[in-house]
Chains A and B, each alone.
Chain A
Amino acid sequence: ELKVEQNPLFLSMQEGKNYTIYCNYSTTSDRLYWYRQDPGKSLESLFVLLSNGAVKQEGRLMASLDTKARLSTLHITAAVHDLSATYFCAVDGYQGGGADGLTFGKGTHLIIQP
């Protein structure tokens, strides 16, 4: 059974600081996704990571994937209040050409304080 673990689950940080969220998963996969969820809202896709060493950046967020370590990171640079949300990583464990359902981590609830 595929397991996805995120840490930390809760994070309170100050504006302007840097921090990293970690996502470990239990089986071989090179398909990892990061989503953002605001309270009471839907999930918004942030990044799709499909190979070992993949790195993607959007604004103050940067995501990377190490398939050998089965680890993905989401790095926040110079945090601003608008980045306050819950961040989920999710893994597609399917090995074939199509896509499978996702297994999600528990989410990291991020609060950024002025």
Chain B
Amino acid sequence: DAGVIQSPRHEVTEMGQEVTLRCKPISGHNSLFWYRQTMMRGLELLIYFNNNVPIDDSGMPEDRFSAKMPNASFSTLKIQPSEPRDSAVYFCASSWGTPDQPQHFGDGTRLSIL
């Protein structure tokens, strides 16, 4: 079975540019999560959706970040304008939305803002 699919795998762009990260969850999963991983701050939850509805976006750093889930099979995380401090690995994860099932993580997008 296909796992969580993220694109692009790597993104290098200049400060001020718009960045869009994409995620396709595992088919049938109804919860989707965006995390960010940095050396300094570790793994942080940014936002998560249940049944395509954003439930908790308190981890989104600031208004430059936005996330959408227009349907059950696709989500985007957008940064506009991007800044060097946004450089990180961004992971998308999905799950069945029950505590007995673990979240399944994608391979991540390694983002570098110059």
Q: A98-B50, A101-B59 are in contact. Are A42 and B100 (CB under 8 A)?
A: no
In whole angstroms, how far apart are the Cα atoms of A93 and B58 in the complex?
15
Residue of B nearest to A6 (CB): B42
Is the beta-carbon distance between B106 and A42 smaller than 8 angstroms? yes
Question: A31: which of B31, B48, B56, B99 is its contact (CB, 8 Å)?
Answer: B99
Q: Which range contains the number of A residues in contact with the other chain?
A: 20 to 34
A41 at the interface (CB under 8 A from B): yes
Q: For window 15-37 of chain B, which residues contact chain A by CB distance below 8 Å?
A: 31, 33
Q: A42-B106, A42-B108 are in contact. Are A99 and B91 (CB under 8 A)?
A: no
Stretch at the interface among A10-18, A43-51, A59-67, A77-85: A43-51
Is the beta-carbon distance between A48 and B101 smaller than 8 angstroms? yes
Indicate the member of A88, A102, A106 with the most B CB atoms within 10 Å: A102
Q: Which range contains the number of B residues in contact with the other chain?
A: 20 to 34
Is the beta-carbon distance between B99 and A102 smaller than 8 angstroms? no
Chain B residues with Cβ below 8 Å from A42 are: 91, 105-108
User: Contact flags (1/0) for A26-43 with B, using CB distance below 8 Å?
Assistant: 000001010100000111
- Write the nearest CB–CB distance from B42 to chain A, whole angstroms: 5
Is the beta-carbon distance between A98 and B97 smaller than 8 angstroms? yes
B43 at the interface (CB under 8 A from A): yes
In the assembled complex, 14 residue pairs joining A and B whose CB atoms fall closer than 8 Å, in A order, are: A35-B102, A41-B107, A42-B91, A42-B105, A43-B91, A43-B93, A45-B104, A48-B99, A99-B96, A101-B33, A101-B56, A104-B44, A106-B42, A107-B43
> B interface vs A, CB < 8 Å?
31, 33, 42-45, 48, 50, 56, 59, 91, 93, 95-108
In the complex, besides A43-B105, A101-B33, A104-B43, 8 extra interface pairs with C-beta distance below 8 angstroms are A33-B102, A35-B105, A88-B43, A98-B31, A99-B98, A101-B45, A101-B56, A102-B103
> A interface vs B, CB < 8 Å?
31, 33, 35, 41-45, 48, 50, 88, 90, 92, 94, 97-107
